[in-house]
Structure 1
Amino acid sequence: MQEINSPQIVLTDPAQNITTILERKVEDSSNPVLYRVQKSPGNWQDVRATEFKAQVVKLAKGLMAAGIEPGDAVGIMSRTRFEWTLVDFAIWYAGAISVPVYETSSAAQAGWALSHSGAKAVIVEKDSNAETIEKARNLENADVDLSALEFMWVMDRGDLQILEQDAVDITDEQVEARRASRTLDDIATIVYTSGTTGRPKGCPISHGNFVRLSANTKLTIPEIANETNSTIIFLPLAHVLARLIQVLALDAGVVVGHSPNIKNLASDLDSFKPTMLLVVPRVFEKIFEGAVKKAEKGGKLNSTLFNRSIDVAIAWSKAKIAGNVPLKLEMQYRFYQKLVYSKLHNAMGGAVKFAVSGGGRLAPLLGHFYHAVGIQVVEGYGLTETTAPLAVGRIRDFAIGDVGTLIPGNSVRLAEDGELEVKGVGVILGYYNNPEEDQVAFTEDGWLRTGDFVRIDENNHLTIIGRKKEIIVTAGGKNVVPAPAEEHIRTSPLVSQAMLVGDEKPFISALITLDPEVLPDELEHLGLPRTLTPKEASTNPTVREAIQKFIDEANAFVSKAESIREFRITDKDFTEEEGHLTPSMKVRRPQVLQDFSSYIEDMYNRTRESMNERSEKFQAYRAERNEKYQAFKAESAEKLHEFGEKVQKYSPKNAKAIDDAETPIEETLDVDGETWVAVTDEDAAAAGLLGESKQVEQVVTGLPASEPLDEDSADFTEQPSAQPDASEAPADITVVEPVGSEKPSRAEHEVIVGQTSPATASMSLVPEGEDYASQRTEGQGDWVQVESTPADSKDANSKK
């Protein structure tokens, strides 16, 4: 069992907690800027360490005065904004536990998190969030019990200010006592997994998980985690990765801003000008798609230049990483840097040097493209259960396509089936009040099963292959990892989401959703009316052709059995509101499979109908060809008998063998327009012509003896069951060669017309492109996979 251990390089005092990091900043004589708050569009105001602590203590007093005790759970339901961070630290200073709830959560989702954690209070951003909580109270759901929820405060109503005003009796010393009472072993937050399957599980993340992981990560990526950098957080703070980055930024001195509305992200980036970004892959995909769309709107020349710039970017990035950029490529890069890359870089604020991508795989194409733009994107890997990053790429050892090496303080090993198992400073000890899940998720010796298949190279770099629960197993037993193909298809500006399906099916297919935001522009680019609805566009041949191009490109990187044979474009996008996406934009596959089952059934039913129809056509065609074959066989046998005697006495005029025998011409015979001469049996035997099967074949077929069999002659020498030849078969029929057979030349396969080679096996018809292993016996819905090859190929057509 392969195992890697990376020891901690920073040891932490067990008596500390997350708030100790803030205390150190306050003690810094420079009183560093910790945050920038946007007071109005484009107007960012600095918040220094002492000011931030004062606000935190003030709110903590309010919570304590209201009755929040050490160890109480307090929910937070809000968009990503400065107040989210303020509330989080105030809860910790009060000795309590924060329970993040996604602002987009339904009543059932919010109710579950607050109920399961036993939350005593919840702080929400606005009235609509408060309404969601009230709905949760009234749910007729045995799993949701909010009887412990005593308080709900709404930020936008000014409830936090009222809390602060009511805290006159709480002293600074009382707050300090609460703050200092928490140790590294105490729970800091209970984060509920976004749950692509099943009920979300509560992950109790300790102060130690945050503090130790932050300290060791800081030394792992020093180019990013230092006081010269700044970042703007726009991912939900309910997500553990954003929470960890927030603690890491405070620890490393990175100045943080918040962007609550993704629609304003471009303007926020422009005014804030961050030097590093925290993203999920979908964000970079959307930015890239936006650039493609803008280029297309600029006309054919702009579009052509942009497409060329992508090729140059990828080539330059690969050469740069390898340490050898040819002069010509460098000149091309500089040309496009001025024309394309710099403009895109400026659109992201103009100062971004680094980005950390997590929450999913980033397509290598995008990694290389953004590298050329001027942004080194390092990918990280982790789970909610590992407090996010377990491994991360390094700037000093920059690579694209993997998630780097372990952060110190972590250990990994590969189970027999390739699943990654982990231990480490960020790994939780078990789920919150859920021993049943503990039994499933943890091994007997305490390792966490990640559910991910991972490859580890000789340099200990980790490459994520895919989620174990997302692996598709076809009816033929082929294991297919969907992520790479899905990632590539999503690079189409038309596409919002792509999800492969095919469990226990004969082949892989895909569900595709269109991006409603860019659809009108993309339709116009394709020469279609902008007014087409998503439903109309989903069946439009031009739209399907445009998406098929990306599917073909994705198929080029996988085997035939893994390739996408069918796809359907849905008439609506996957949404978080309908349960198709997690807040971090991951697809909830079970929900999609349920809600879009009609599309999936249609794909496979239509294919099965087509298979049956083609089978019927073939049976009729084979019967017709067999009748012709039997007639020709009888005619050929008669000719054989007639010419078999004559060929012993005749050879071609001027044939060298006969000349050498000095045989006089006794008589001539016209054979299919060719003059043959008569010889004696003795001379024919001396010349080696007596009984020559090659000559028999030449007489009957008119073919030179050295030529390979063609499709027509194959009817009579290779196909034992009167199998029709492919050249005359209907266009939608594929004639299959015997498994393991090769097409022999006539020199290798000397048989009289009508004789069957003993090596020939029985053959079957298959729908073109089916999974070979999926099915076996014709007539029982069983089919095999073959590759089509030219008629004169000597290679085996069958492929198992």
Structure 2
Amino acid sequence: MARGAECEQGVLHRDANDAWVSETWADTGRRARVFAAALIDLGLQHGERVAIMSGTRYEWLWCDYGAICAGGVRTSVYPSSLPADVEHILSDASARVVVAESAAQIDALRDLRSALPELTVVISLDGSREGDWLVPLEGVVSRGESVLAAQPYEALTGDDIAAILYTSGTTGRAKGVLLTHRSWNATLESLIAVDLLHEDDVTLLWLPLAHAFGKALSLMAVRAGYLTYIDGNLDRIASNLDEVKPTFMCSVPRILEKIHARVKTGAEASPVKRRLLDWAASVAMTTQELETTGERVPRKLGVQTKVADALVLKKIRGAFGGRLRFLSSGSGALDPAIAKWFGGAGITVLEGCGLTEAGSTTSLNRIGEVEYGTVGKPLPGTEVAFDTDGEILVRSASVMKEYHGNPEATAETFADDGWLRTGDVGMLTDRGNIRITDRKKNVFKTANGKYVAPSVIEARFMAVCPYAAQFVVVGESRRFVVGLIALDPVAMKDWAQERGVTYSDFAELMRTDEVQALAQGYVDELNLDLNRWEQIKKFVLLDRELTIEAGDLTPSMKLRRKAVERSFEGDIAAQYVEESSHQ
């Protein structure tokens, strides 16, 4: 809060009429103190949990800061979480207060009330109802204003728990990660030491604040003092970028994949546009490669690059507001071809890596030193080592204290001397950057004894096929690898209409010869870059996208592989049965 009072910049958010409203960080600090006074008056004790169950919005920030000022420990629930996951997190954390965003969330909490005996207050952000344990946010703010002067704030130390953040839960129940105030401070100082962000920067914050990286960005905005526009509405990203014109933005691979795919599919209908786009991308990436290695760009290529920029590349940059210095991507694998494509368009993609247990960020590429296909060098203050099986180990002041109420998992995650097992396997490149092969638990061995890292193959397919929504590689203990392909319904509707392909529903469209041939073409292209044992011998076109509601994805949109394999086990088994019948 003291740092916020010094910042000249602040935060802009949408009001009820969707207009941008500007607040200084000092304003935000006062809102946080009022909220803290109300929490204390409501009986919140030092160390008790305050859960925020909301999308990314301005109120999220000052409710989070207020919980900290009151001496509470913040935990969070994704708005898209299924009821079983909501119950697990709130029960495991022993949440005393929940800040809920919508009527549907409040109804879900009411249904879970008997299973949450510690929960005594639910604060409604939309203020539509009150009574019993439910209090509208306006009422909480009024209560805080009336007792503000009389409420002493809790004295906090670096070793106090700041947050319990829950892991994605891709293979089982989400685990609560205990992060201290010292951990967050160490994360911020390591990012500051990279000297990447400055007071004259502008960003659009849309990533989930329930995620460790989103939380780090919200704190970094105050620490570095840059201007932040906050709006978690994904439907408004395109229009927000045009209005905000950020100088940097943090994203996830899926957003970059979608933008790349949208540009490519937009040119598919016109052979001239398609050839122009391919030519411009090729020219730009060739130029970028020469500049990166310090080689001279031939005069003819330089002229071609200027033409390509005027005709194509400038428009791509314009879609991001026209003044991006860089895009940061993390939380999953991004195919190097997509990163190079953006780089050729003049948008530098800095891939990084981190995990909740390490305070969000452990490594990051640097401007002018980008090595595609890597997650960069460790942040200052972070040590990296490799176990005998290639697992990446990290050690820093940002690392978690422990898993909440789970000493067995804590013991399994920490190696000797404070080294944290990340669960990723990888290596160091000759340039000192970290290249991640895959999650250790994802790598599987085929019946022929060959190891396959599915995430790399999946990311590559997303770069090759602009119509793909998801792609899942399976084949553990099998003779060959099978791909599960979920195509984007909206993109495929346009594709079918342009080609006169008729169908009654999406499932029927997936069974048509035309779509089967389309998918086969992209699989064949993918296989050209794979080792023989990695190649997709057969594939299944799924009749739906993978979703959170179906249990395929976590609330943070990470793949639940085993759940997907169970959902489509019949389709998968059929690929191997058919192979056996031909032998």
* Residue among 211, 230, 233 paired with 2:185: 211
For residue 552 of structure 1, give the secondary structure of its aligned residue in structure 2. helix
CA distance in 2, matches of 1:189, 1:316: 46
Give the ranges of 4+ consecutive aligned residues of structure 1 lying more than 3 Å apart after TM superposition. 40-43, 171-175
Residue 124 of structure 2: aligned partner: 154
User: 1:538, CA displacement in angstroms?
Assistant: 1.8
Checking the alignment, whether the CA contact within 8 Å between 1:227 and 1:252 is kept in structure 2 is: yes
Checking the alignment, whether the CA contact within 8 Å between 2:29 and 2:62 is kept in structure 1 is: no
Checking the alignment, whether the CA contact within 8 Å between 2:47 and 2:73 is kept in structure 1 is: yes
CA distance 1:126–1:42, change in 2 (3 Å): closer
Q: Does 1:496 align with 2:469?
A: yes
Residue 67 of structure 1: aligned partner: 43
Residue 761 of structure 1: aligned partner: none
Residue 397 of structure 1: aligned partner: 369
Q: Does 1:199 align with 2:173?
A: yes
CA distance 1:590–1:137, change in 2 (3 Å): farther
Q: Does 1:316 align with 2:287?
A: yes
1:302-357 deviations in Å (ceiling 9; x for gaps): 12211222322322222221123332222222112111111122122222221110
Checking the alignment, whether the CA contact within 8 Å between 2:4 and 2:29 is kept in structure 1 is: no
Structure 2 residues not aligned, in runs of 5+ = 129-135
CA distance in 1, matches of 2:550, 2:187: 35
Q: Any residues of structure 2 matched to 1:117-516 within 5 Å, and which?
A: 117-137=93-113, 145-157=115-127, 159-167=136-144, 170-172=147-149, 174-175=151-152, 177-178=153-154, 181-220=155-194, 222-223=195-196, 225-297=197-269, 299-324=270-295, 325-491=297-463, 492-516=465-489
Residue 589 of structure 1: aligned partner: 561
For residue 582 of structure 2, give the secondary structure of its aligned residue in structure 1. helix
Q: Any residues of structure 2 matched to 1:527-546 within 5 Å, and which?
A: 527-529=499-501, 531=503, 533-546=505-518
User: For this pair of structures, how many residues does the alignment match?
Assistant: 574
Checking the alignment, whether the CA contact within 8 Å between 1:66 and 1:163 is kept in structure 2 is: no
Structure 1 residues not aligned, in runs of 5+ = 1-21, 139-144, 612-800
Residue 490 of structure 2: aligned partner: 517
Q: TM-score, normalised by structure 2?
A: 0.95
Checking the alignment, whether the CA contact within 8 Å between 1:64 and 1:170 is kept in structure 2 is: no
Structure number with greater Rg is 1
For residue 402 of structure 1, give the secondary structure of its aligned residue in structure 2. coil
CA distance 1:234–1:49, change in 2 (3 Å): closer
Checking the alignment, whether the CA contact within 8 Å between 2:78 and 2:555 is kept in structure 1 is: yes
Checking the alignment, whether the CA contact within 8 Å between 2:267 and 2:274 is kept in structure 1 is: yes
CA distance in 1, matches of 2:358, 2:440: 17
Residue 131 of structure 2: aligned partner: none
1:513-550 deviations in Å (ceiling 9; x for gaps): 0111211112234x242655321222222222222232
1:497-517 deviations in Å (ceiling 9; x for gaps): 000000010011110101112
Deviates more, 1:186-195 or 1:340-349: 340-349
User: 1:156, CA displacement in angstroms?
Assistant: 0.3
1:234-263 deviations in Å (ceiling 9; x for gaps): 121111111111111211112112222211
CA distance 1:559–1:57, change in 2 (3 Å): same
For residue 543 of structure 2, give the secondary structure of its aligned residue in structure 1. coil
Q: Does 1:551 align with 2:523?
A: yes
Deviates more, 1:327-336 or 1:377-386: 327-336
Q: Any residues of structure 2 matched to 1:393-792 within 5 Å, and which?
A: 393-491=365-463, 492-525=465-498, 527-529=499-501, 531=503, 533-611=505-583
Q: What residue identity is the alignment partner of 2:384?
A: V
Q: What residue identity is the alignment partner of 2:121?
A: F
User: 1:168, CA displacement in angstroms?
Assistant: 5.2
Residue 25 of structure 1: aligned partner: 4
CA distance in 1, matches of 2:578, 2:205: 47
Checking the alignment, whether the CA contact within 8 Å between 2:3 and 2:222 is kept in structure 1 is: no
Checking the alignment, whether the CA contact within 8 Å between 1:523 and 1:529 is kept in structure 2 is: yes
User: 1:282, CA displacement in angstroms?
Assistant: 0.4
CA distance in 1, matches of 2:230, 2:300: 42
Percent identity among equivalent residues?
Answer: 31
CA distance in 2, matches of 1:67, 1:265: 39
CA distance 1:275–1:168, change in 2 (3 Å): closer
CA distance in 2, matches of 1:173, 1:157: 26
Checking the alignment, whether the CA contact within 8 Å between 1:451 and 1:469 is kept in structure 2 is: yes
Question: Does 1 or 2 have the higher relative contact order (CA < 8 Å, sep 6+)?
Answer: 2
Deviates more, 1:482-491 or 1:469-478: 482-491
Q: Does 1:54 align with 2:33?
A: no
Checking the alignment, whether the CA contact within 8 Å between 1:55 and 1:86 is kept in structure 2 is: yes
Q: Does 1:116 align with 2:92?
A: yes
For residue 510 of structure 1, give the secondary structure of its aligned residue in structure 2. strand
For residue 574 of structure 1, give the secondary structure of its aligned residue in structure 2. coil
CA distance in 2, matches of 1:290, 1:300: 16
CA distance in 2, matches of 1:198, 1:113: 13
Q: What residue identity is the alignment partner of 2:169?
A: G
Q: What residue identity is the alignment partner of 2:331?
A: G
For residue 251 of structure 1, give the secondary structure of its aligned residue in structure 2. helix
Q: TM-score, normalised by structure 1?
A: 0.70
For residue 166 of structure 1, give the secondary structure of its aligned residue in structure 2. helix
User: 1:572, CA displacement in angstroms?
Assistant: 0.7
Checking the alignment, whether the CA contact within 8 Å between 2:540 and 2:571 is kept in structure 1 is: yes
Q: What residue identity is the alignment partner of 2:487?
A: L
Q: What residue identity is the alignment partner of 2:485?
A: I
User: 1:189, CA displacement in angstroms?
Assistant: 0.8
For residue 393 of structure 2, give the secondary structure of its aligned residue in structure 1. strand
Deviates more, 1:361-370 or 1:276-285: 361-370
CA distance 1:262–1:327, change in 2 (3 Å): same
CA distance in 2, matches of 1:531, 1:250: 53
